[in-house]
Structure 1
Amino acid sequence: MLEIFARAGAQGVELFAAKQHLDYANRVAIRELADWFRSNPLEPFSMHAPLYPDSEMGRAGAPAVNLIHPDKSRRIDAMDEIKRALEAAELIPFRFMVIHLGERDDQWSPRSLEHSLTALEHLKAFAGPLGVKLLIENLQNEVTRPQNILEILHVGHFDSIGVCLDVGHANLTGGTASALAELKPYIRSAHLHDNHGERDEHLWPGEGTIAWEETMKELKTAPQTPAGVLEIHYSLGDSPEEVTTKMSKAFSLLD
């Protein structure tokens, strides 16, 4: 798959730390992947932090990786799991780790702010020597609304921590334009996908209701032009011709 991405013209890739996809705790697998990147021009630009510690995305009952869970032991377990993924940077030189703060229904409160500050301070100290910077992703919860992300960054004096703007999530939680207006100085990466404003569909750009011309214009004027990472839901029934057509239409909007 990486070779296909490289031949298609992708400049970089975001690795997803999901054990059924990339077993970040398996040093042999990480070493093999590192060898591939050293021999190819495709950049390991970023890694998405694990969402579950198991290889079944929680379907067997494993709890989610939640850095701001009310239970302290859960918060510690979450930080430890993300550190295991960060250790892959010893061999694979990705620049950023994309972090989720909480789950979908987590609310904003003084306690969630406190837990966010503690987790980010701890992970920042661990990631720094590995050459990795943290990015907070805007989710569909209250904790990662743009104004709350800004408060976390300002209260924690986290000058080295940035934002991964998920355009699809922004469309579901107040609008892409307002999220860009508030977060633009901090955006280092952007997850690009579309939806109809009702659920997180991960459609190709142009298949939903996001105003892509305005969105891309604003992203391109960010102080540090962010990478654009396609996060598209796929259907195994799509033919290569259908995927190519959808891709061409999407790229014309993102150019």
Structure 2
Amino acid sequence: MQASLREAQTIFYVEGWELKLGASSLFAIARSFKSFLNYVRKTNSVKVWEIIDEAETRLTPLRISELNDLARTKGLEFTLHAPFLDVNFASLSPYMRKASLKHLENSLFKAYLLGCRVLVVHGGFYPHVSVKDRAYELSRNSIRKLALKAVDYGVKIAVENGPAGYSFLYVEADEVLKQFSLLSELENVGLCLDVGHANTSSELKHFLQKAGDLILHVHIHDNDGKRDLHLYPGEGTVDWHLVFEGLKQTSFDGYIIVETASSPLLGVKTVEKWLKARG
């Protein structure tokens, strides 16, 4: 089994399977946007960036213009991660839910302006187990509204599985399958498989086996199997052979984004080495 890298495109081919590898701006959400922009300018090995529309990397018209200029000069592609801090479009409060959905709709428009194919969203969380089913219902309603707007922009919505231990929705593979079966009329909605999150719930194998057809987008990072640490791939307990074999079996052809708390370049280089060495 051989893998090759097209220089400066971050695209790998493993036995005819195409992997598009990119990096997330997660490491920069507490830094200045200017420092992140300079980081991207100096980085030639990553051509796909997922921008987190949150905190210090929150997008404004000027920042969108600067990113589009970079895309033209450096041949970059972008995906967008919608806001998730203080956002819950599954909230039982109609005021909170409406405000959260409006926040995500604004981010959807930014994704359109950046030429993104994918907008990643968190599916929400529930305050108590007694209202979990109701929270799922409200989450589905919000996803429908967002997806209908996304059709006009040519953007797909990738709902991210949550980590264990925080009252997030969409944590277990069976839950995800059930909820997506109730959203089956939406052709532009899929799953963002967050590998690190799935590792915290011991659900990684189940996601790959049961929900493979739903996977639209992938986040990769590592942890100790308990905490959502966003470590470099290889620094924790994730079974990476399982991950790449599982994705290959699903014929996944979307973006694989290295989403680490520290500069993602080491993570990107680690994955590149793994793919080159397969065989």
Q: Which runs of 5+ in 1 are unaligned?
A: 53-63, 236-242
One of 102, 106, 110 as aligned partner of 2:124 = 102
Residue pairs, 1:146-157, within 5 angstroms: 146-157=173-184
One of 259, 275, 279 as aligned partner of 1:231 = 259
1:65 aligns with 2:93: no
**Greater shift in the superposed pair: 153-162 or 205-214:** 153-162
What is the CA distance between 1:250 and its match in structure 2?
A: 4.2
CA deviations 1:149-192 (Å, max 9, x no partner) are: 22222112223211110000000112311121121111121111
1:50 aligns with 2:83: yes
**Partner residue, 1:13:** 49
Structure 2 residue identity aligned to 1:209: T
Q: Is contact 1:167-1:192 (8 Å) kept?
A: yes
Cα separation, partners in 2 of 1:178 and 1:76, compared to 1, 3 Å: same
What is the CA distance between 1:215 and its match in structure 2?
A: 1.2
**Partner residue, 2:272:** 251
Q: TM-score normalized by structure 1? A: 0.83
What is the CA distance between 1:35 and its match in structure 2?
A: 2.4
CA deviations 1:214-240 (Å, max 9, x no partner) are: 2111112223323210011218xxxxx
Structure 2 residue identity aligned to 1:17: D
Q: Secondary structure at the match of 2:192?
A: strand
**Greater shift in the superposed pair: 103-112 or 213-222:** 103-112
Q: Please report the RMSD computed on the Cα atoms of aligned residues, expressed in angstroms.
A: 2.2
For the residues of structure 1 that align with 2:90 and 2:266, how far apart are their CA atoms?
41
Cα separation, partners in 2 of 1:127 and 1:248, compared to 1, 3 Å: closer
Q: Secondary structure at the match of 1:126?
A: helix
**Partner residue, 1:175:** 203
For the residues of structure 1 that align with 2:142 and 2:268, how far apart are their CA atoms?
37
Structure 2 residue identity aligned to 1:15: I
Q: Is contact 2:125-2:169 (8 Å) kept?
A: no
**Partner residue, 2:110:** 88
Q: TM-score normalized by structure 2? A: 0.76
**Partner residue, 1:217:** 245
Q: Identity of aligned pairs, percent? A: 27
For the residues of structure 1 that align with 2:106 and 2:49, how far apart are their CA atoms?
20
Q: Secondary structure at the match of 1:39?
A: helix
**Greater shift in the superposed pair: 103-112 or 142-151:** 103-112
Higher relative contact order structure (alpha carbons within 8 Å, sequence separation ≥ 6): 2
**Partner residue, 2:222:** 194
1:40 aligns with 2:74: yes
**Partner residue, 1:4:** 42
For the residues of structure 2 that align with 1:146 and 1:50, how far apart are their CA atoms?
23
Q: Secondary structure at the match of 2:57?
A: coil
For the residues of structure 1 that align with 2:154 and 2:87, how far apart are their CA atoms?
23
Residue pairs, 1:118-133, within 5 angstroms: 118-133=141-156
Structure 2 residue identity aligned to 1:135: A
Structure 2 residue identity aligned to 1:216: F
For the residues of structure 1 that align with 2:143 and 2:266, how far apart are their CA atoms?
41
For the residues of structure 1 that align with 2:147 and 2:113, how far apart are their CA atoms?
18
**Partner residue, 2:213:** 185
CA deviations 1:44-65 (Å, max 9, x no partner) are: 1x2111013xxxxxxxxxxx11
